[in-house]
Amino acid sequence: MRGYIIAQPIEHTHTGKGNPGAITHFDSGLSRRQQRLLDSLPEYGSRVTVTKNSVSMKDLAALTAKAGVEFALFTRGSRRLIVRGDAYSVNINDADAKELAEQGYRWSGHTHPGYNRFILRGSEGDRNILSAFSQERSAVYNSLGQFRDFRKE
């Protein structure tokens, strides 16, 4: 009989904190870092700029799982701009997108609340914003942290 090594004590629990899927299915809660980020984006249209290594699209998927709203992420060098939306959109229009692009930002991605595969499709509005950035593609994440790239065509 082969022996098995138990890597962690049986009492050790994984809380799932900060994991978009665990938040969606078990309401496990955000990590402290994610909660501070959500607190800095209290309402529709709120914006915050952070360092590139302090936030990822998976973090925004976790925020979406917790708050039920969209978030968009724009990257310029070592900085990231996050914009909070509502359940259906983020308040970035074509003119805003062109201005951000002129400032050197790229559209890294955004989230859609929900967890089915249909949620991962880019909308016509998403493709218009992508065109305003003169980008070929960006990504949509759902409340589970799953993602799909979408293109402007």
- The pLDDT tens digits for 6-30 are 455 444 455 677 778 777 777 778 9
Please list, residue by residue across 8-35, b when 16 or more beta carbons sit within 10 angstroms of its beta carbon and e when fewer do: eeeeeeeebebbbbbbbeeebbbeeebb
- pLDDT attached to residue 12: 43
Give the strand pairing for 47-51 and 137-141. Answer: unpaired
pLDDT in tens, 83-113: 999 999 999 999 999 999 999 999 999 999 9
